[in-house]
A and B are shown apart, each in its own frame.
Chain A
């Protein structure tokens, strides 16, 4: 009996030694990612949270702080009520852009993936709808700023065609400014979304569609009863990434409104607000705002995931 025990121990030791060796290689492969993650993500993240508890800014060329102030920065952010307003602006502009974007993308991707339509020049169109995304957002915004200026070509054209009686000042109208931001975001991202949704649709087994065909389902029924439910995981992914991107909306409204978020700061997004605090190198308030943004993003993503993904998860659990 004791002999047997010894044997077992022996083999065990031998085996575990082998595993250790393999493990080292695993860690080496993980090292580049982990290092990059720690240096460029984790340390800044922890640092931001740490900074949010301090009063620390530049008054002219003189440094104020850092003095520990506890949660005072968070209190200040909530006290003014601006935060809620800018969050509202961000969400309104995101939703205004996202709804047409997802509708357009669903329509285009179902056309592209529908074999019975036999669309020609598919490759060309797929490239064209993706193109706006290749332009730098700031350049795109600058272009729109020039085009929709009161002396710009759009006004010139509309006045000449008799649609406007006199030039319309787009950038002093709340609706027009928000609408332009939403339109630009939609235009820039619908190609990307279309490609993602197409990938999702092509992943649905063809036999299901064929069976539906045999059973005499109409295209509308196929879309609502087969394509959409099976597309849900991809849709959730698109929604979550777009939401996070939307919350971080910055370059388009920043350039379009010259950093002012006019009219009346109704197109000022959360990140533009964050940028305002960096003018005075106000690391405390900017840090607090970043932490809040992290929390908001986490909560919203969780909600989206819960609402749209719950059934899917339940099904899998069963």
Chain B
């Protein structure tokens, strides 16, 4: 009996450990050091020598600075970037590391249901008075809510100039990446290593079958504007495929090309282009060209990264460069990405999606180290080139992108060897952030969620809009709606 119990306990713990690793694999997109986690002695030895060599290069923090570097993040992305590319970083376990004699502590709070922001909201305002070891030193933000945290009155993110980072240091970065984290007084309060201009990522096999060619130029001609895109969508659907995996896929393309911000004078306004998204998507759902039940990031949506797994195979996704590495399951041999089955083109309208900005938390006790991390991760060309080639990320450096666009290093295996960097660099120059507001995340999320009901037929457009309005007023009591 005892033995049976022991065996059961063993099986249970193995199953649990297995699921943990499986989850890591899915989210991490197979970045090297995150998953190797030193399972073999050979790998361990190699990592150690590498780390030892890199320690010398690391910046030595001043003696009187904190011994613990606290970093607030919402997923594994930045952690794996630092683990792989920051000189002198040694991984201890899933949420701990070391840089020299400073302990690095990662706090991962998923952004679902606003949990990440709620966490920041509760700790950042009192950060200066927190105990030395629990002071937040670095936190990350996304474009959708960056303005909330770089606000000069709120003052939770340090001015980069106070850290000693000058405009000259950031001269090679794209202007839009600076606009996102600039406060009302024109002070810069964050920096990003990514330039997230996005495009249309298409399934080469379906392109050949339906359009007769998988060449990016030919595909671009078939999706050049929304009218031709819709014609192609009809053809794709006739051939038994979905044009996009879910109703929300094209949302960013429309919402980045609006004429005014979501909120004007404290009132939520539905832009004509947002309404255009609703009409186009409703038509596509009704015509069977996309699914009304597949939420972004959901299981049904992600089946399109494989062939023959979902209800229908998917012709295209819209995404920036981080999408390749982070979302498309390229580490799974069965996926389309692992076999180089995707192609990349601009699509009907230029847009951008996401991106991660590094902010120094006001009250940090490790300013020297924080400065070095920001500079190394966002301006060091060697590091940026390494990130681009190892993780197929589109980095925030005009010269590195130009370099990649003209060399073999920029060819990406999951795109069948295509080099997307010229297109990505051109897109990054064009990104316009003038219509950003601090309410974007809530508005984008709630609008898609409410409209899902209209697409699936659960309610009329007016009903869905009313639901959106009440959701917005719940989230932001200071706003009014129609």
Contact = CB atoms under 8 A, between A and B. Distances in A.
Interface of A: 57-62, 64, 80, 82, 146, 149-152, 166-167, 169, 171-174, 258-260, 262-266, 276-277, 279-280, 282, 285
Given A150-B300, A151-B300, A263-B456, A60 B151 contact: yes
Contacts of B470: 80, 82
B148 interface: yes
Contact of A151 (B311, B452, B475): B311
15 contacts: A58-B121, A60-B151, A61-B121, A61-B125, A64-B477, A80-B470, A166-B311, A172-B293, A263-B456, A263-B459, A264-B463, A264-B467, A266-B458, A279-B475, A282-B477
Determine the main DSSP class of A at the interface with B. Answer: loop
A209 B477 CA distance: 62
B385 interface: no
Contact of B476 (A174, A264, A280): A280
Contacts of B458: 172-174, 262-264, 266
A149 B300 contact: yes
Given A276-B471, A280-B474, A151 B151 contact: no
A167 B154 contact: no
A265 B294 CA distance: 18
B42 to A, nearest CB: 38
A280 B300 contact: no
B7 interface: no
Contacts of B113: 259
Interface of B: 113-114, 118, 121, 124-125, 148-149, 151, 153-154, 156, 291-295, 298-300, 303, 309-311, 438, 449, 452-453, 456-459, 463-464, 467, 470-471, 474-478
A61 B311 contact: no
B418 to A, nearest CB: 29
Contacts of A82: 470
A183 B278 CA distance: 34
A279 B114 contact: yes
Nearest to A80: B470
A285 B459 CA distance: 27
Contacts of A173: 458
B206 to A, nearest CB: 19
B118 to A, nearest CB: 8
Contacts of A59: 476-478
B262 to A, nearest CB: 14
A279 B149 contact: no
A151 to B, nearest CB: 5
Nearest to A279: B475
B277 to A, nearest CB: 19
Nearest to A259: B113
A104 to B, nearest CB: 31
B157 to A, nearest CB: 11
A264 B299 contact: no
Given A149-B299, A262-B453, A264-B459, 17 more contacts: A59-B478, A60-B438, A62-B154, A151-B299, A171-B293, A172-B293, A172-B453, A263-B456, A263-B458, A264-B453, A264-B463, A265-B467, A279-B118, A279-B475, A280-B475, A280-B476, A285-B477
B148 A61 contact: yes
Most chain B Cβ neighbours within 10 Å, of A171, A265, A282: A265
A190 B295 CA distance: 33
Contacts of B118: 279
A8 B118 CA distance: 70
Most chain B Cβ neighbours within 10 Å, of A58, A151, A258, A280: A151
B149 A61 contact: yes
A276 B474 contact: yes
Nearest to B473: A80
